[in-house]
A = this chain, B = another copy of it.
Amino acid sequence: MIKVQTEDFNQQVQYDRLRQASHTGAVVTFTGLVRDINQGEKISALTLEHYPAMTEKALADIVEQAKLRWSIINATVIHRVGELQLLDQIVFVGVASLHRGDAFAACEFIMDYLKTQAPFWKKETNSVGESYWVDARESDQTALSKWDIV
């Protein structure tokens, strides 16, 4: 399941959907949250812009890439857009597999790929009310190298 939405999501609902298929032995979930601090700056809010016609397609493509590499029984990606508050959930990636190795690798791969390929952009507001676009982190590019992409 792939979703881009403004609403929050529920961990238990997503987890329950992932674990239910026959043969499932391992479920790995990742959740990204709005940190209260980023690169040393205190944050008060976050806005997520996206490219609506492309985002769900980009996420679906990433999940397809993961399915070519690992044995996946079930996968979910949910990404929120719009205005978010501190500690809000931003993104959920969950993968169900027969064995844990596939679930861990596929979940991390999807996140690494999403971070550099899916058209979302963060704008932060700091504690004195200034807004600015978040810079891409070089570490997100280097994270891709473990999957032999870039």
Contacts and interface: CB of A to CB of B under 8 A. Distances in A.
Interface stretch (A9-17, A47-55, A75-83, A127-135): A9-17
A121 interface: no
Nearest to A108: B104
Contacts of A25: 32-35
A98 B11 contact: no
A139 B26 CA distance: 15
Interface of A is mostly: mixed
B143 A101 contact: yes
Contacts of A12: 10-12, 15
Interface of A: 10-12, 15-16, 19-20, 22-37, 87, 98-101, 103-104, 107-108, 111, 139, 143
Given A30-B103, A104-B107, A104-B108, A23 B11 contact: no
